[in-house]
Structure 1
Amino acid sequence: MSLRTRLLAVSSAVLLLVTALTGGPAPAAPPGGYLVGVGIGDITGEAAEVGMLGYADPGQTTAGLASRQWARAFVVADAAGRHVAFVSTEIDFVSQAVQQEVLRRLAAEHGDVYGDANVVITATHTHSGPGGFSEYTLWNLTTFGFEAPVFEAIVSGIVRAIDAADASLAPGTVKIAEGTLRGANVNRSLPAFRADPPADQARFPDAVDTRMTVLRFEQGGTGVGMIDFFPTHGTSMTPSNHLISADNKGYAAHLIEDGVHGVDWAHRGAFVAAFAQTNAGDMSPNLRDGGALGPTDDEFENTRIIGQRQADKAQELYASATEELTGPIDFRGRYVDFSDVEVSGAYTPDGQPHHTCPGALGQNFTAGAEDGPGPPIVDEGDMRTNPLLLLAGIVVNPTPPDVRACQAPKQVFLGTGSQHPPWTPQVMPLQVLRIGQLAVTTAPGEFTIVAGQRVRDAVDAELSGVTTHQILAGYANTYAGYVATPEEYDLQHYEGAATHFGRYTGPAYEQELAKLAAALRDGRTTPSTVRPPALPQNRISARPGVVLDTPPLGKSFGSVLVQPGAAYGRGATVRVDFVTGHPNNNLRDEGTFVEIQRQAGGQWHTVVTDSEWQTTYRWEREYLSVSTAHITWTVPADTPAGTYRVVHHGDAKNLLGVITPFTGASRAFTVG
């Protein structure tokens, strides 16, 4: 058991003891005030040989860690006992299976305090995490099926984060600040944006959404957390990357938690900073060539640059936040079957009623986006029928003629909503939540900036006089592709081709979310007539998993293959290679594969783990069942002079399937 794990176990035991001795109930919110709490949980999935989710490339599989993935939770409760939980997860998207299992476990522990109307689970949309945590076929194609360990890591980490936030509830405040950030996103789909009416375009000079909103959470006047909302894709790391990475938003969170508030690995959760998405559908962090290339030619440096820019502006807004959210907490949620929503003419460009369609992906979807191009089969915006894709779609995923007609002008490639069971979700979770004068609108798509603005306008129209601020939190509670405006849809660029429910997908979201906002305003209930289906039959994996680990001849697990040098200056990179086992034997969530230790008083003390961005852990299969851990540590500029060593923790499986932990340590070296 690592030092990190032991500390967490002791802390949990102390918390349980204190709860038992004091009776355990959370304090009551002061009249007109709030209780606030924050929490964090490790959600890092399998670090080797599992397909990564985001770029749809089966060849992009995990091979180590650049950073761990975290779920960050924030709970606010009012004097009436109404709770809202907002969770930001460092994954590509939230699957419906994850959302439903989290809600099930919360209900078992907390009763009816947390449910599908007041728990928001969002994703930062990193493209560098392991996949396989959905029950829908399309999302598991690149992982060759369902990955139970990844699913469990995500679900249990989210629940731990919410539990920690709930347990830490104390009288406090939530403050809001708004500003703008330039230089952290570009529009990667300009032709589609230019198809929108001039009035829509005029709201976004330079075709980008520069708005940033920060919520500051305090307990007794002391800051304990922040949520930053800003739209930019999690694609600073490229399709060639094989290390798990939380990408630019994860790096921004690290800079605030560790850099500003001094939260090291041993005090994780003392301050929690989340960097969440809004309408990032056409917003790319790759600032060159229309979203194709990052600020530099180094993907790690690009991650740091875009993360640093978000962190700097967020900290500025956090420091200047003075407007306090006051007033009741309330929420409305509802599941809607988006395969056939009747959309009123009040929300359509021609003023006539229309309807949505069963989900489908267009041929131009295969072209990919500028920062994640697909194979050279078809170009974005090419409206001609591609015979190869038409035939492939008919063979593997046939689409009825009426669905093809409904989806026009999209040339359908995959009729994902027409299968039994469907290959992508059709029942969408929608929410509108109120925290005083702030409305939080949630939906499970990647909204382009104009599509997102239209949703905000529709909700604002219903909540005028009730709220004065609104956040649209995309990538929430499940995932159903992109949401382009009808005008953008007609061009069938990547975002339009990946808009699942047809030309009127965006107007349907506007309408249904406006209904929830009106119900919240008027105090009406919003019962759901449909529920997401459970698809346990799809929890099948084609991967064999770990079979056996063996060390090379004459070596043992934990043996050092490449020792560090004798001395390093600050800014240098230390590398040590170890004989290792397969990391999927033990994900070591809330633990670590790596420790950097400093010698003091004749004892070794851990100063860094793999939860810090200054280390990398690369796993490599040498041959058959023999593998190597390549560990690096880039020595920070403020590292104290002294004697250090690198420690590696791993686990090995023998022929009988027994998994045994091991630890190896490098020789000592100096920094100074």
Structure 2
Amino acid sequence: MYAHEARLRAGSAAVDITPDHPVVMSGYGARDGRSTGVHDRLFATALILDDGAVTVCIASVDALNVSREFTHRVTAALSSRGVELDAIILAGTHTHAGPYLPARAIDVSPPLRADEDVSRTVEGIESDLVGAIERAFERRESAGIRLGHATEEGVQENRRAAGGVGGNVRMPQGPIDPDVTAVVVETASGDETILYNFACHPVCTTPGETVLSADWPGYARRRIEADRDGATVLFLNGAAGDINPSGLEPARSGSAVYEAMERVGSRVGDAVLRAVADATADDAPVLERTPIRCANRAVEFPVKRTPSLERIESRLDELEAQLEHLEERGDGVGYEKVNWDRRYAEELAAIAKWDVDALPNAIPYVEIGDLGVLGMPGEVHARHGLEFKERSRADTLVLAGYANDYVGYVPTLSALENGGYEVRTMKIAPEAIVEFRRAAFDLVSGDTRW
């Protein structure tokens, strides 16, 4: 046997993707104009792993989302440069203070879509990301992988259990996933990459803040880098569709926004460092000669059915009349409630006009010994993630939300009965949830029972 056979190799790279000009921001529907500055830098980070036969890329960008088209353009550009991948899991960190990247399920939403040309921004981020992946590919050398875990229970809340966005969830309920996973990759020359996984919305920022920021993951990155000098840090958000940072003041602004980011990011960063200590303990196993397996499952996400456009527009007229009446009475509480109803009706009208009846996807999965990484193309609720982990054949399952595409919210079937923001703004039909779960269980456990 040749010495280089059956040996894992790895390489990583990070690149600053912060736009050098004002850009349309993504994450909230209430922002006017473009970004007005930069609070902290945005990054794209890539990790390449190969076993001599299979090559995979795991990458993330400090943005709300990516799209199917974005991912395809990145892989096509890499192929043209001689970087052939057997699998890619490319995820947005889901910061709500980053540049707008188009995706069908966002563009259809009247409050969220950008009507400006954002091609300059998108092309710049794609180019920087492709360059980072190419550098990671060129830096491959013999490596070992260690896995560690910690728990952080003090910075998350299930926002549906807390009443929901807009305070309109019936029978509020929902779990959190406090697991913090660290995948520590060390090369023969001593380069260290720390891929960490945690489920929590980066929404410490607010619609009123117009400076670019990675939100709390930016603070976590800096906390980890300060302790692990020279390490490349890659964050994959998990099944965070209904998970927010806890303790956020609704009326926060200015310095309070960034104090919240620092509080959450520092605590998550400390938890990651505990997980790294677990991974690098003397008795921790090292994956060095384990083959890489990768697979994907094609899933059609049917778009949800709506009432007729005529009926929706009639309802919008009724809501407009109610809003006028409530405004005249000075009823702020009633106005806010009806205004949410108007927003949902506008979403339904847009879907009724949509020329899309399904969002096709390929769910990616990578497995290396005790490690599994599942890509999920949207805002997957925490209960899904907990069940995937429970049934995973890999001891450590990393759940990469917002990966390779964005289909919007993927709530549980039981959540549909309780309404709320995530249910009312979801773009997919209930049967899409069933198909997604069937594909995910098949990939992580070989069992299609959902």
TM-score category (smaller protein)? 0.7 to 0.9
Distance 2:218 2:144 in 1: 25
* 1:283-362 alignment runs, 5 A limit: 283-288=243-248, 292=250, 298-321=256-279, 322-325=284-287, 327-339=290-302
1:37 aligns with 2:14: no
Q: RMSD in angstroms over aligned alpha carbons?
A: 3.5
* 1:520-669 alignment runs, 5 A limit: none
AA aligned opposite 1:126 = T
Residue 218 of structure 1 is matched in structure 2 by 186
- State the Cα deviation string for residues 501-521 of structure 1 (Å, max 9, x = none): 133443221112234457799
- State the Cα deviation string for residues 312-368 of structure 1 (Å, max 9, x = none): 11112112312323521011124422117xxxxxxxxxxxxxxx76999x99xxxxx
SS at 1:338 equivalent:
strand
Deviation at 1:283, TM superposition (A): 1.2
- The answer (yes or no) to whether the contact 2:200–2:243 under 8 Å persists in 1 is yes
SS at 2:36 equivalent:
strand
Residue 122 of structure 1 is matched in structure 2 by 91
Deviation at 1:456, TM superposition (A): 3.8
Deviation at 1:132, TM superposition (A): 4.5
Distance 2:292 2:182 in 1: 18
Residue 495 of structure 1 is matched in structure 2 by 422
Distance 1:123 1:359 in 2: 33
Distance 1:158 1:333 in 2: 23
- The answer (yes or no) to whether the contact 2:15–2:132 under 8 Å persists in 1 is yes
Residue 231 of structure 1 is matched in structure 2 by 199
Measured at CA, do residues 518 and 416 of structure 1 come closer, stay the same or move farther in structure 2, by a change above 3 Å? same
Residue 599 of structure 1 is matched in structure 2 by none
Equivalent residue in structure 2 for 1:251, among 219, 243, 247: 219
Distance 1:359 1:152 in 2: 38
Percent identity of equivalent pairs = 23
AA aligned opposite 2:32 = G
More helix by share: 2
- The answer (yes or no) to whether the contact 2:108–2:350 under 8 Å persists in 1 is no
Measured at CA, do residues 446 and 507 of structure 1 come closer, stay the same or move farther in structure 2, by a change above 3 Å? same
Measured at CA, do residues 55 and 434 of structure 1 come closer, stay the same or move farther in structure 2, by a change above 3 Å? same
Residue 90 of structure 1 is matched in structure 2 by 62
Deviation at 1:32, TM superposition (A): 3.9
SS at 2:414 equivalent:
helix
AA aligned opposite 2:157 = V
Residue 240 of structure 1 is matched in structure 2 by 208
Equivalent residue in structure 2 for 1:164, among 122, 132, 135: 135
Measured at CA, do residues 499 and 389 of structure 1 come closer, stay the same or move farther in structure 2, by a change above 3 Å? closer
Residue 509 of structure 1 is matched in structure 2 by 436
1:413 aligns with 2:348: yes
Residue 372 of structure 2 is matched in structure 1 by 439
Aligned length: 414
Distance 2:140 2:157 in 1: 39
Of residues 161-170 and 37-46 in structure 1, the stretch that sits farther from structure 2 once superposed is 37-46
Residue 62 of structure 1 is matched in structure 2 by 35
AA aligned opposite 2:13 = G
Measured at CA, do residues 172 and 493 of structure 1 come closer, stay the same or move farther in structure 2, by a change above 3 Å? same
Distance 2:307 2:24 in 1: 24
Distance 2:383 2:151 in 1: 17
Distance 2:3 2:278 in 1: 25
- The answer (yes or no) to whether the contact 1:359–1:502 under 8 Å persists in 2 is no
Larger Rg: 1
Measured at CA, do residues 449 and 296 of structure 1 come closer, stay the same or move farther in structure 2, by a change above 3 Å? farther
AA aligned opposite 2:286 = E
- The answer (yes or no) to whether the contact 2:377–2:402 under 8 Å persists in 1 is yes
SS at 2:73 equivalent:
helix
- State the Cα deviation string for residues 185-244 of structure 1 (Å, max 9, x = none): 1121105799699xxx6xxxxx32111100001012735110110111111122111111
Residue 52 of structure 1 is matched in structure 2 by 25
Distance 2:187 2:17 in 1: 26
- The answer (yes or no) to whether the contact 2:208–2:253 under 8 Å persists in 1 is no
- The answer (yes or no) to whether the contact 1:443–1:474 under 8 Å persists in 2 is yes
Measured at CA, do residues 224 and 468 of structure 1 come closer, stay the same or move farther in structure 2, by a change above 3 Å? same
Residue 160 of structure 2 is matched in structure 1 by 189
Measured at CA, do residues 447 and 137 of structure 1 come closer, stay the same or move farther in structure 2, by a change above 3 Å? closer
Measured at CA, do residues 160 and 95 of structure 1 come closer, stay the same or move farther in structure 2, by a change above 3 Å? same
Q: Which has the higher contact order (CA 8 A, sep 6+)?
A: 2
**TM-score normalised per structure 1:** 0.56
AA aligned opposite 1:129 = G
